[in-house]
Amino acid sequence: MSRATLRTLIVFVVVSVIVFTLPAFVNDFRAQQFSYVGIYLVALIGLNILTGYTGQISLGHGAFMAIGGYTTAILMSDHGVKDIVTIPIAIVVTGVAGFLFGLPAARLSGLYLALATFAIAVAMPSVIKRFEGFTGGGSGINLFGTPELTASLTPVRLFGFELTFNNWLYYLAWSIAMIGYVIGWLLVRGRTGRAFRAVRDSETAAVSSGVSLARTKALAFGISAAYAGAAGALFAIATTYVNPDTFPVALSIFLLVGVVVAGLGSLQGLIVGAIFIQFMPLWAQNISKSPGAPAVVYGAFLILVVLALPGGAAGLIARVLQLTRRGRDFQKP
Amino acid sequence: MAQFFQQVVSGIASGGIYGLLALALVLIHRATGVVNFAQGEMAMFATYIAWTLTTNHGVSYWPAFAITLLASFAGGFGIHQAVIRPVERGSQIRVVIVTIGLLLMLNGLATWIWTGEVRAVQSPFPGGTFEIGGVAIAYADVGTIAVCFAAVIVMWAFFQFTKVGLALRAAAVNPNEARLVGVRVPLMLGLGWGLAAVLGAIAGMLTAPSVFLDPNMMQSVLIYAFAAAVLGGIDSPIGAVVGGLILGVGLNLIGTYVDFIGSDLRLPAALLVILIVLLVRPAGLFGKPEVKKV
């Protein structure tokens, strides 16, 4: 086992321990906020596989989250399926949708892809509103009516512990996030990940090495969308209510902000990105109570990171590690 | 039949607005090689400036219009120099992300300064309609069409007949050779951003009276402008205008005569236009197909 792999494993174990003992130290409200961090983390892993590793920009991941969220909501309210069971179904449905979108999208290069995915994010709410019979239209789908399918009323028992709804949500979100992280890590360091990076770095070189552009891009889209679907399903369970405004254009953009802040093409910084998405609006409220303040701060951060810190949080960590190592080498006689 | 022609006229009016914003996108694409996702928010911000001048500072409409255009030009130029220039030579993805950052900032700033409240904006044109052969035509539509065409013609004349226009085209087509013959390329690209901001501001101010002013006013217009620019070819100014007109008239007619689409699915219909054009003819109607060097 190489040193890098060992270090990754140690960091992963430490982070897991912190993550799984956290609810014991924080109140119920914080637990809920940190559940959202977990949910965003799931979506960010997916987006980074697509944008960071495969180089395909997506400004429409909120739309994929909407597909996942609505799959869960419709299954729960119309078909009486238990919430946890809907998650894998949402993953499959969204993954297939992403793959199908990826097939034609694979022919679009950088800029045009950004355009097409952005248009999807903008158009999604009006599509949802139009097919009212299926999606509940503008008034959305309420999951309060079916408390027996989720943990909202009755506490969940797990290994002899009784969990409140928010603690249960927290463990659900973070379990999926950790599993998703491991799968993502295995994926990007293997053969598929190499193909992804080859497509990102040079399409021409990738093709001449025998990588199928169309298949690789569509696969990246499918996997990425599957993550977004899981995040969307969790989002629906967490808010117990979905309507077209649950997944606005802003969500798609915030996800991109999260990935850029975390560092494109690196899984390590993603927790920073997820924390940023969840808590930045709250911090921004300290600057100004105006509802516009969070967007200004998000935007300013996004530009600053691109201008001053292209590697994002992960790049910063790597740079600091490199500096300390250089200092250590320097001290050696 | 009267209804058909009425829809065509109002379609040309809204198509003119899409065309203006699409032209702004094309200008920036030619100058910087990216699509400016903040174009709509820049237009929205300019519209707020015009609104606050007329409502809160007692300036009458057309002077306020002129001041707004000047402010937009300065704003577009400033944005290019401050945040676009440093990343211009890097990867496309970084420039796109910067324009997304601008989108967020301008949207938030507008909410911050003017609150998110929806504002009614008065139209500079008289209300009511006049009839030609049984077809009722709104004065507002005629006014909008006139302003759009005037803007396009002025812009075309500027690029075609002035020395600065020539330098601008040179800087966009071949920055290195333009620099060799003494064109100040960064300045010219900044001018391009300024002009694009001006076109956007006109589009914004023409849009506001019919949809009310709020920070998200230009989001859907931007998508129509994207569709128009893609349809005409993202590098072709003529294409942008023609694409805008086709889209405006087409969407209006489809919205009126195809029940399934109605007014709810106009945006998804524009998205479909984008996707189909990109897949069937990525260069658009007037664009030259891109040749990739290996």
Integer Cα distance of A65 and A227 in angstroms:
9
- Which contacts of A273-276 are long-range, i.e. CB under 8 A and separated by 24 or more positions? A273/A40, A273/A41, A273/A44, A273/A312, A273/A313, A274/A37, A274/A38, A274/A40, A274/A41, A274/A44, A275/A37, A276/A301
Cβ–Cβ under 8 Å, residues B276 and B231 = no
Lowest mean pLDDT among A1-10, A302-311, B13-22, B90-99: A1-10
Q: Specify the pLDDT at position B73.
A: 95
- The whole-number pLDDT of residue A129 equals 83
Residue in chain B lying closest to A117 (CA): B271
Task: Report yes or no: B15 and B249 within 8 Å, Cβ to Cβ.
Answer: yes
Q: Does residue B283 sit at the A interface (CB-CB below 8 Å)? A: no
Which residues, numbered 129 to 158 in chain A, qualify as contacts with chain B under a Cβ-Cβ cut-off of 8 Å?
129-130
- Answer yes or no: do A127 and B265 touch at CB < 8 A: yes
| Average predicted confidence (pLDDT) for chain A | 83
Please give the pLDDT value at position A231.
95
Taking the C-alpha atoms of residue A133 and residue A136, their distance in angstroms, rounded to an integer, is 6
B282 touching A (Cβ < 8 Å): yes
For residues B215-242, average pLDDT: 88
B203 touches chain A (CB under 8 A): no
Q: Give the pLDDT of residue A62.
A: 92
Q: Is B205 on the interface with A (CB under 8 A)?
A: no
Residues A153-182 have a mean pLDDT of 78
Predicted confidence at residue A7, as pLDDT, reads 79
Does residue A319 belong to the interface with chain B, where contact is any CB pair within 8 Å?
Answer: no
Answer yes or no: is pLDDT of A153 > 60.
no
Q: Write down the pTM of the prediction.
A: 0.85
What pLDDT, on a 0 to 100 scale, did the predictor assign at position B122?
A: 80
Find, in chain B, the residue whose alpha carbon is nearest to that of A104. Answer: B279
Span A100-140, pLDDT tens digits: 988 887 777 777 888 888 888 888 888 888 887 777 777 77
Which of A130, A301, A306 lies at the smallest CB-CB distance from B265?
A130
From B4's Cα to the closest Cα of chain A, the distance in A is: 25
pLDDT tens-place string over residues A57-100: 888 899 999 999 999 988 888 887 777 888 999 999 999 999 99
On whether the CB atoms of residues A191 and A28 are closer than 8 A, the answer is: no
Contact B104 A296 (CB under 8 A): yes
Which one of A45-59, A221-235, B120-134, B226-240 scores highest in mean pLDDT?
A221-235
pLDDT of residue A154 exceeding 70: no
| Residue A333 pLDDT greater than 60, yes or no | no
Asked if A55's CB is within 8 angstroms of B100's CB, the reply is: no
| A116 and B CB contact within 8 Å | yes
Q: Please judge whether B279 and A256 are an interchain contact, meaning their C-beta atoms are less than 8 angstroms apart.
A: no
Asked if the Cβ–Cβ distance from B86 to A307 is below 8 Å, we say yes
Q: Is B25 on the interface with A (CB under 8 A)?
A: no
Per-residue confidence band for A158, with pLDDT thresholds at 50, 70 and 90: low
Name the burial class of residue B244, with classes exposed (0-12), middle (13-18) and buried (19+) by CB atoms within 10 angstroms of its CB. buried
| B9-35 pLDDT, tens digit each | 888 888 999 999 999 998 888 877 788
Q: Could you state, in order of their start, the residue ranges of all structural domains in chain B?
A: 2-216
d(CA B271, CA B228): 11
Check residue B18 and give its pLDDT: 92
Q: What is the model's pLDDT at position B160?
A: 86
Nearest chain A alpha carbon to B35: A111
3-state secondary structure chain B: CHHHHHHHHHHHHHHHHHHHHHHHHHHHHHHHCCCCCCHHHHHHHHHHHHHHHHHHCCCCHHHHHHHHHHHHHHHHHHHHHHHHCCCCCCCHHHHHHHHHHHHHHHHHHHHHHHCCCCECCCCCCCCCEEEECCEEEEHHHHHHHHHHHHHHHHHHHHHHHCHHHHHHHHHHHCHHHHHHCCCCHHHHHHHHHHHHHHHHHHHHHHHHHHHCECCCCCHHHHHHHHHHHHHHCCCCHHHHHHHHHHHHHHHHHHHHHCCCCCCCCHHHHHHHHHHHHHHHCCCCCCCCCCCCCC
* pLDDT, tens only, A298-311: 888 889 888 888 77
CB pairs under 8 A between A and B: 144
By Cβ distance, the residue of A57, A107, A290 closest to B96 is A57
Query: Is pLDDT of A223 > 80?
Result: yes
Residue appearing with tokens 């901001």:
B197
Average pLDDT, chain B: 86
Residue A280's pLDDT band (boundaries 50, 70, 90)? Answer: confident
Q: Find the helix or strand (DSSP H, E) in which A333 lies.
A: none
Cross-chain Cβ contact A295/B108 below 8 Å:
yes
pLDDT of residue B66: 92
In chain A, the residue whose alpha carbon lies closest to the alpha carbon of B234 is A112
- Flag whether pLDDT at A283 surpasses 90: no
> CB distance A59–B100 less than 8 Å?
yes
Tens digit of each residue's pLDDT (9 = 90 or more) over B252-285: 888 778 777 766 777 888 888 888 888 888 787 8
Burial category of A251 from C-beta neighbours within 10 Å (exposed 0-12, middle 13-18, buried 19 and up) = buried
Chain B residues in contact with A115 (beta carbon < 8 A): 35, 226, 230, 274, 278
Measured CA to CA, the distance from residue A200 to residue A161 in angstroms comes to 46
Cβ atoms of residues B189 and B31 within 8 Å: yes
**Helices B2-32 & B39-56 angle (0-180, nearest 10):** 110
Amino acid identity for residue B79 in this structure: I
Count of residues making up chain A: 333
Answer whether residue B152 shows pLDDT above 60.
yes
Asked if B34 reaches chain A (Cβ–Cβ under 8 Å), the answer is yes
Across the interface, of A108, A264, A302, the residue whose CB is closest to B104 is A302
CB of A101 within 8 Å of a chain B CB? The answer is no
Flag if B226 and A310 touch (Cβ within 8 Å).
no
Please check the confidence at residue A152 and state whether its pLDDT lies above 60.
no
Kindly report the nearest CA distance between residue A20 and chain B, in angstroms.
34
State whether A107 and B215 contact (CB < 8 Å).
Answer: no
Percent of the residues in chain B that have a pLDDT greater than 90, as a whole number = 27
Read out DSSP for A38-82? Answer: HHHHHHHHHHIIIIIIS----S-HHHHHHHHHHHHHHHHHHH---
